[in-house]
A and B are shown apart, each in its own frame.
Chain A
Amino acid sequence: MSDITIKPDEQVPPAEVPEMELFHSHSWWTTYVFSQDAKVIAIQYAATAISIGVLALILSWIIRIQLAFPGAVSFIDSQVYYQSVTMHGMIMVVYMLTAILLGGFGNYLIPLMVGARDMVFPFVNMLSYWIYLLATLVLATSYLVPGGPTGAGWTLYPPQSILTGTPGYDYGIIMMLVSLILFIVGFTMGGLNYVVTVLQARARGMTLMRMPLTVWGIFTAAVLALLAFPGLFVACVMLLLDRLAGTSFFMPAIVEFGEHKNYNGGSPILFQHLFWFFGHPEVYIVALPAFGVVSDIISVHARKNIFGYRMMVWAIVAIGVLSLVVWGHHMYVSGMDPTFGFFFAITTLAIAVPTALKVYNWVLTLWRADIHFTTPMLFALGFLVTFLNGGITGLYLGNVIVDVPLSATLFVVAHFHMVMGIAPVLVIFGAIYHWYPKITGRMMNETLGKIHFWITFVGAYAIFFPMHYLGLLGIPRRFYEMGQTAFVPDSAHTLNIFITVMALVVGFVQFIFFYNLFHSLKNGKPSGGNPWRAASLEWQTPETPPGHGNWGETLPVVYRWPYAYSVPGANQDYLPQNMPPIKGEHII
């Protein structure tokens, strides 16, 4: 380029991080199976998460079929129903979303986006995946043991979760708890890697305030996870002891089927505190990476820098911090001192401030932008709508007085599916369409992508929007059957059938996505290294897909932030992060 004025390296401090010692594998096994390369680990994580996610999707059909056509399918008895609800919820939240967003996207994108050759501790990173896989297998195996998986609900509240009346009393609950403990151990290994890589292994010139928001989102989520999973870990250990060793941490004196149980003096509320100390941050563990990814997709496909980058970063951090002190809003109906109710309501509503700020900034990024309605962009826009929707109902539920009648109704189900079910899933799809060319070197089919988007987006609305109404009618969640209940009008039943039909349609449509995913591997249009003309570092690798060590001989040097789109005076509409400064450029 002709208009370079300054010798590039004078801009950037000299290297202070030594070259990474990488493990170079020489056999098929250590290259593709027991790989220490973050990119391979990422794909393993994502593949496992998606596979178990498909199981959770099928379970949601079982739930829906029973709700719309009670008793029509004979094998769905109340046991199977409760087991399906439990496994669906737990798999979706922990084994699917958390694993794919942090283990999948985190592993693939962090090293590439911050300009590292790999995660800082590749061996630990590999262990992380294998322990996660073990956790998933333990969970799935609970379908094969006598009594089947637990039906305690994904919240696993004692005393009910470890009493004999709950399905899966014999082994299911034990396997669930063991699996969660394994998951946490595995996740900690990965999470430490993500955090340290971001903090200590960035490229020359890559300051924290030049990282793409995707990295900020995943980084903050990983920190949150390291602080929040301990709550779940402790809850699982203690519940396991209550079940197996006969301790009474969570179990009060209790009579079951006329038999006085050997429990005494424990505190069930303690479990709720521990669980939700994990459970609420968990919402943001899946939401923050999604926020980051959406920011990047919007910016690239609207050819405009993200509006208010610094504000976006601080909003992510603020949401992360606040999310650790709001867990009580899940316990308004558990019997809580009004002072605490007041505190948790205030903190909950306070989170709306940084969150709303992010939404405004996304909208302002789109304002008068050169929007390309590509498939990733459509999914990102879909996210904006569903997330906003779920966020608004969240404001309702954050108020104690409004929450008390709505809690445990389908209104809550509609709310959390909008905000942490559909919204992150849309982002995950968008992200796959967006980064697929980098991962495989080929484009996914756009037409199929758009069909997939519209049916999924409209369908998801058709499923969950009516649930708000059903919830307002007072229809409870987690009910196997409503029976003859006077307050439920016939129209509610019609609506239930409609929802179920849509759920089946949306579920089956995902096969278009899988077809596209695999078909494009061989037949997709070759994409080149940077098909979206994106500025961030991962698109500037010397090879596509990136080779082992990511950057070939020399590590990249970063000169600007990742959102240099439509820069005035530049002769192309984006400036890659590692391109030396141009004349008169205002460097950010």
Chain B
Amino acid sequence: MQQSAEENVEWHRQKLLRLIADWSSDQRSFKTASWRKTMMWIFLVSDTFIFSCFLISYMTVRMSTAVEWPHPSEIFALEIGGQKIPLILIAIMTFDLITSSGTMALAVNYAYDKKRKPAAILLVATALIGAAFVGMQAFEWSKLIHEGVRPWSNPFGAPQFGSCFFMITGFHGFHVSMGVIALLVIARNVWRGDYDVGRQTSYSHRTGDYEIVEVMGLYWHFVDLVWVFIFAFFYLW
């Protein structure tokens, strides 16, 4: 059904009023968000600032350095069957990580339906795909190191290339690795049914529930999204 212009304006007006009402109400400002979900969102905003600072610094040194920047399609090429294919590994890695976002989303869905088995399996699958990503990254690192790229030097041009590349992909890879660990822990909890029986799930002596899977998902999608930016700035620029 087509919405008329007035209806549209009215809808937005209602939405705005709702927002103001929520914020000026007591107890909670986000009426539908739990504590842990709010906390994760705010953490991700803060983390966004960290990644932004890293990426902006990367752009700055890339512009300030006097030596030429290596060409991405050459330095990131992989030799397969005697042929150099530019950006092939990175294409696979990106595809891999985006796939893991898909399995994560499915896991969240099953967790809310309290279908423990498929949820746990999908969580483990997400973790494995994430681990594969880290593995491929390790492969790329070792290839570059093998070719002589170091954090402090780079035979193909500006030494800052190596510095930025290892630092930023390393920091992102650290995020993915932490995520993999968290995914495995949550998968175990889901599998055991901790969230059904109200078992204390961590040192905090709190009992968890299936929403943890969704909060985990927020983190995972964020890490995925950050990768898209890293990908664009490092490999396409």
Interface residues of A (CB under 8 A from B): 12-13, 15-17, 21, 23, 36, 120-124, 188, 192-193, 195-196, 199-210, 226-227, 229-231, 233-235, 237-238, 241, 245-249, 262, 264-267, 270, 274, 277, 558
Contacts and interface: CB of A to CB of B under 8 A. Distances in A.
20 contacts: A121-B39, A200-B33, A201-B28, A202-B27, A204-B26, A207-B25, A208-B23, A209-B24, A227-B45, A230-B46, A230-B50, A231-B49, A235-B53, A237-B171, A247-B160, A247-B167, A265-B66, A265-B158, A267-B61, A274-B53
A202 B25 CA distance: 10
Contact of B204 (A23, A264, A270): A23
A264 B159 contact: yes
B22 to A, nearest CB: 10
Nearest to B23: A208
A508 B133 CA distance: 60
A248 B60 CA distance: 12
Nearest to A17: B27
A47 B101 CA distance: 45
Given A192-B42, A204-B26, A266-B61, 20 more contacts: A13-B25, A13-B27, A16-B27, A120-B35, A121-B204, A123-B202, A192-B39, A195-B42, A196-B39, A203-B26, A208-B29, A233-B50, A233-B53, A238-B167, A247-B152, A247-B162, A248-B152, A262-B152, A265-B159, A270-B61
A17 B28 contact: yes
B41 to A, nearest CB: 9
A241 B67 CA distance: 20
Nearest to B200: A21
Given A226-B45, A231-B49, A267-B60, A241 B27 contact: no
Given A12-B26, A246-B151, A188 B207 contact: no
A243 to B, nearest CB: 12
B65 A241 contact: no
A283 to B, nearest CB: 18
Given A227-B46, A230-B50, A234-B54, A196 B65 contact: no
A21 B206 contact: yes
A120 B66 CA distance: 50
Nearest to B65: A265
A80 to B, nearest CB: 33
Nearest to B47: A230
Nearest to B163: A247
B30 interface: yes
Contacts of B23: 208
A188 B46 contact: yes
Contacts of B60: 267, 270
Nearest to A207: B26
B122 to A, nearest CB: 27
Contact of A123 (B39, B42, B205): B205
Contacts of A230: 46-47, 49-50, 52-53
B112 interface: no
Contacts of A15: 27
B64 interface: yes
Contacts of A193: 39
B95 interface: no
Contacts of B30: 199-200
Contacts of B207: 21
A206 B28 CA distance: 9
A188 B160 CA distance: 29
Nearest to A222: B42
Interface in B158-207: 158-160, 162-164, 167, 171, 202-207
B211 to A, nearest CB: 13
Contacts of A120: 35, 39
A264 to B, nearest CB: 6
B64 A265 contact: yes
B141 to A, nearest CB: 14
Contact of B26 (A192, A195, A202): A202
Contacts of A231: 49, 53
Nearest to A253: B66
Given A120-B35, A203-B27, A264-B159, A21 B205 contact: yes
A209 B20 CA distance: 12
A16 B54 CA distance: 40
The 9 closest A-B pairs by CB, nearest first: A123-B204, A246-B152, A265-B65, A230-B49, A247-B163, A234-B53, A267-B64, A230-B50, A226-B46
B159 A249 contact: no
A587 to B, nearest CB: 13
B203 A123 contact: yes
B159 A241 contact: no
Contacts of A262: 152
